[in-house]
Structure 1
Amino acid sequence: MAGHSKWANIKHRKGAQDKKRAKEFTRAIKEITVAVKEGGGPDPETNPTLRNAISNAKGVNMPKDTIQRAVKKASGADAENYDTVTFEGYGPNGIAIFVECTTDNTNRTVASVRSIFTKNGGSLGTNGSLEFLFDRKGVFVINTENLELEEDELELELIDGGATDIEKEDNLITVFTEFTDFGKMSTKLENLNIEPKNAEVQRIPLNTSELPLEDAKKIMNLIEKFEDDDDVQNVYHNLEITDELIESFEEE
């Protein structure tokens, strides 16, 4: 998990562009829609999945009225119907890539994901072929700027909430939990009156592969092509995020 926090910060800064912000909003609205339909209705007080989706929407600076409209639309008769689908494949140099999508047209999404793999030197595999390479973890990103708790006290509370690893980068703390402790940590943060900047279950690689800088940048450009697709919610991979790779993107 080394480098996770640094890379998350780089993505956040790069995401300030209008195009990236629009994609973040689309992703958040889809998450809200699925949460309302599958998580138990439009009331965040009784729907923890929606409560988490709203928190993530706030984390990408989505306006309050936009969030409220998304919740209202998701609970209406004309709400979009989305399916969650996943794809597994390999990029150049054998880098494993796991793509999670939320779509209203599975055929379109399959064609798009296959095309991105094929045009960039990769190949789409069969579902289940990469499961052994990733571990599902709860990942919580917390902004520490205005927290009242001292750092040591906060860490003890997070450990009590199920934290297995804590990474610090600038004013952000990234907390990892076991998949089964995601709800436990969510409850712990609520009790501490801490609203995470982002909270989700992610696929963390068990082992990573380091590539020469130029090859690694090609993989990251491939990842970005997936992330730019409107149907794609998350992309995971097992490329080692080295300091050299991070610095090359900071200079862009």
Structure 2
Amino acid sequence: MAGHSKWANIKHRKGAADAKRGKLFTKLIKEISVAARTGGGDPESNPRLRLAIQNAKGANVPKDNIERAINKATGNDSTDYTEVSYEGYGSNGVAVFVEAMTDNPTRTVQNVRSTFRKYNGSLGTNGSLEFIFQRKGVFTIQAPEGIDTDEFTLTLIDVGAEDVEFQDNTFLVTCAMEDFGRVQKGLEEQKIEAENAELQRIPVSMVSLDDEAIKEVLKLISVLEDDDDVQKVYHNLDIQEHQYEWL
């Protein structure tokens, strides 16, 4: 993804998080619940849970909410969530990859399929977008006060970062999927906590649309993101900064 698109996407996500904080909290708590249920409630021995807690703290989820989610997930009355994904195309050939957690897969696939159809898209088979997206580790880090940015960049590269960008006092770090844990450990050794750290699906090719054509695809993405079962929506749409206001 082009640098401009990455930074614009970060700004959009922060703005969307402020506008839809309740839904964001729900998605983060759901990830904590699944991580605790599948790997245990101790973050020291459960890397997925440790990461989920870190991301929740970065979004200012209250500590009580986090602890409550862990306790419930490791108890007898936890909700049994299934992780599912859907691949398809919006209008004008824009690839859209949806990741969800649901207690009712039938409901979720029906809702996702209906949304694609409503906005002139269509669901495909799993694996149909494999050639469009690469799995990468992505870290967003607020620069600690007084840090030497050049030295820190070299440290990140030494522990496995493929690409390090710095803008507006924020580091955007990308690494290969298999180096995600290595970079995470390197940050822990530096006593630096990322604002957000996750495996993302990064498009290897982008689609640009004019202002009129892009609105329908942006609506598809927005409605999918608003679905309570949907955790993340990835796409290969090259959104210009002024077009984010329609998302």
CA distance in 1, matches of 2:41, 2:142: 27
Match of residue 242 from structure 2 = 247
Deviation for aligned residue 1:149: 2.5
Match of residue 173 from structure 2 = 175
- Paired residues, what number? 245
CA distance in 2, matches of 1:55, 1:80: 22
Unaligned runs of 5+ in 2: none
* Cα distance change of structure 1 residues 93 and 251 upon mapping to structure 2, 3 Å threshold: closer
Deviation for aligned residue 1:6: 2.0
Unaligned runs of 5+ in 1: none
Work out whether residues 36 and 49 of structure 2, in 8 Å CA contact, stay in contact via their aligned partners in 1.
yes
Q: Secondary structure at the match of 2:216?
A: helix
Instruction: State how 1:147-162 maps to structure 2 within 5 Å.
Output: 147-162=145-160
Percent sequence identity is: 51
CA distance in 2, matches of 1:150, 1:250: 35
Code of the aligned partner of 1:7: N
Match of residue 37 from structure 1 = 37
Match of residue 50 from structure 1 = 49
Work out whether residues 5 and 168 of structure 1, in 8 Å CA contact, stay in contact via their aligned partners in 2.
no
Code of the aligned partner of 2:14: H
* Cα distance change of structure 1 residues 250 and 95 upon mapping to structure 2, 3 Å threshold: closer
Match of residue 203 from structure 1 = 201
Work out whether residues 6 and 169 of structure 1, in 8 Å CA contact, stay in contact via their aligned partners in 2.
no
CA distance in 1, matches of 2:177, 2:146: 28
Deviation for aligned residue 1:147: 4.0
Work out whether residues 137 and 178 of structure 1, in 8 Å CA contact, stay in contact via their aligned partners in 2.
yes
Match of residue 121 from structure 1 = 120
Deviation for aligned residue 1:148: 4.4
**Structure 1 stretch displaced more, 229-238 or 41-50:** 41-50
Match of residue 131 from structure 1 = 130
Work out whether residues 138 and 179 of structure 1, in 8 Å CA contact, stay in contact via their aligned partners in 2.
yes
Match of 1:10 among 9, 12, 26: 12
* Cα distance change of structure 1 residues 154 and 64 upon mapping to structure 2, 3 Å threshold: same
Deviation for aligned residue 1:171: 2.6
Q: Secondary structure at the match of 2:18?
A: coil
Work out whether residues 162 and 181 of structure 1, in 8 Å CA contact, stay in contact via their aligned partners in 2.
yes
Code of the aligned partner of 1:77: N
Q: Secondary structure at the match of 1:101?
A: strand
Q: Secondary structure at the match of 1:131?
A: coil
Match of residue 72 from structure 1 = 71
